[in-house]
Amino acid sequence: MHLILPVSNVLESGIKELLPTAKTRVVPNIVGDVDFSNPEHSTAVRFCVVGDIVFNVKRQDLILKAFFALPSFCELHFFGGGPDLEALKALCKKAKNVFVHGRVTNKEVLQLLPNYHAHIQFSAFETFGIATLEARKAGIWAISRASFGCSDYADKGVLMAESVEELTQKLSEVIALSKPGVNKFEALSKAEIGRKIQLCYNELN
């Protein structure tokens, strides 16, 4: 017997469309522990974007368009590498408050997130969208689209935007807001996800 373990209900639905008889169990990704030990102090309101630089999927070019409508005391920091990295650098070349840092490890992501005011995920699609939950575990605002895979876990600190105009609006709104506080996501801890995987393994034996 085979058991497929999609990370979200969205992915499970896609699998069922292709393989209606497939046996599945949704087992979400683990949201790692955030490192709060390296605080940075800045007078700017700092937004960050973590993800592969692929415009037709992650849509960093549209995020940039929305950000350019904000006041100059805001900063936008991109983390990630990919086929559109050089194109992104070119788009940001004249902007003094936009920074392209290149690829970073997940460990580094979990260290840097607490130093930002909000994380932006505006992808065309996300099978899970773990960066949104990592941002909330870091205690910062997360701005995302409603269709991201782990939207079932969204809390009051996740703001939804479906268009560039809505994204600009949400970015503008959070500027004046305090950070929303930490969501620990106990159900997505290493121990809890490990338990779910063990139950799936037991089912096969």
Question: Which value, in Å, is the radius of gyration of the alpha carbons in the chain?
Answer: 18
The pTM of this model reads 0.92
Task: Calculate the alpha carbon distances from 89 to 6, 23, 61, 133, 139 in Å.
Answer: 34, 44, 10, 27, 29
The fold of 45-186 is Rossmann fold (3.40.50)
Higher pLDDT, 114 or 1: 114
Whether the CB-CB separation of 117 and 101 falls below 8 Å is answered with no
Q: pLDDT at residue 119 above 90? A: yes
Instruction: Give 78-92 pLDDT, tens digit per residue.
Output: 999 999 999 999 999
Percentage, residues of the chain above pLDDT 70? 100
Whether the CB-CB separation of 153 and 31 falls below 8 Å is answered with no
Instruction: Give 98-108 pLDDT, tens digit per residue.
Output: 999 999 999 99
Whether the CB-CB separation of 149 and 8 falls below 8 Å is answered with yes
The domain segmentation of the chain, as residue ranges, is 9-29+189-203, 45-186
